[in-house]
Amino acid sequence: MPSSKPPNHSSSGGAPQPGEAPELIWLRPERTGRGPRPAHSRTSIAAAAIEIADAEGLDAASMRRVAAALGAGTMSLYNYVPKKEHLLDLMLDAVAGEYDFTALAPTGDCRADLRRLAHEQLATLRRHPWAAALVIARPGLGPNALRYTDHFLAVTEPSGLDGAARLEALALLNGFVCQYAQYERTAAAGAKWQAELAGYLGRAAMSGQYPHLAAAFATATPPSGDPDTVFDRSLDRVITAALAPVTPP
């Protein structure tokens, strides 16, 4: 998945030194071209890991479990994926490859296009409940995430914002969608906690100690029970902020 953090254009920590193995898996060739044809590929390894994570959670997608699913020895898997962090990068980029950019082709209407893109992203994160937290903790920019980034820049080109502002808008929107997906997952797993929280806030508002909270509760419309309605309402606010002209300090 694309990054939910603003890009860092610093030149520090750049290209690896001669003889040093690159930290980014995308800088490592998948195969050298010498020797027998590999029995596995990054694509098949990522697919096996995603299947495990979707069914049992991210922690279950260990190198040992993935190797067993592929019928390989655990140590042999490190020939393809040198470390667990690389496996996570491959998994996120494989998920980012699920977008159908033909169906999401820019129409010239930035707001409408961003709504469609955000809904597609939320649907993807709902299919892979482990992915949102991973995007926030370890954002990646593999080949599929770069295609997403390029598509986002095409969608927002009519906004008139410069490239830096549009990249910041990308981080803002991605961060919102990931956080919303995380909230949905937490809420679904903690219905009792949610009910207790609502009661706690209601009592706090009536205590007289929090007048602004009480006023907000008094004028609030009844919350919608439809998660997509809540998402759309919040999404429109975030899109407005993301596309707002940048004013100099």
Tokens of 164: 């830096």
pLDDT confidence of 219, banded at 50, 70, 90? confident
Tokens of 239: 């899109």
Under 8 Å between Cβ of 209 and 163: no
Closest by CA position to 81, among listed 128, 134, 132, 26: 26
pLDDT confidence of 156, banded at 50, 70, 90? very high
Q: Taking the CA of residue 165 as centre, how many other CA atoms within 13 Å lie in the half-sphere pointing to its CB?
A: 16
Under 8 Å between Cβ of 235 and 165: no
pLDDT value of position 50 = 98
pLDDT confidence of 213, banded at 50, 70, 90? confident
Q: Does 27 have pLDDT greater than 60?
A: yes
Q: Does 226 have pLDDT greater than 80?
A: no
pLDDT value of position 12 = 44
Give residue-wise pLDDT tens across range 136-153: 988 778 999 999 999 999
Q: For 220-230, what is the mean pLDDT?
A: 74
Q: Does 115 have pLDDT greater than 80?
A: yes
pLDDT value of position 10 = 46
Q: Does 60 have pLDDT greater than 70?
A: yes
The model's pTM is: 0.83
Q: Does 14 have pLDDT greater than 80?
A: no
Average pLDDT over the chain reads 87
Question: What are the distances in angstroms from CA 158 to CA 19, 80, 109, 174, 240?
Answer: 44, 42, 8, 19, 14
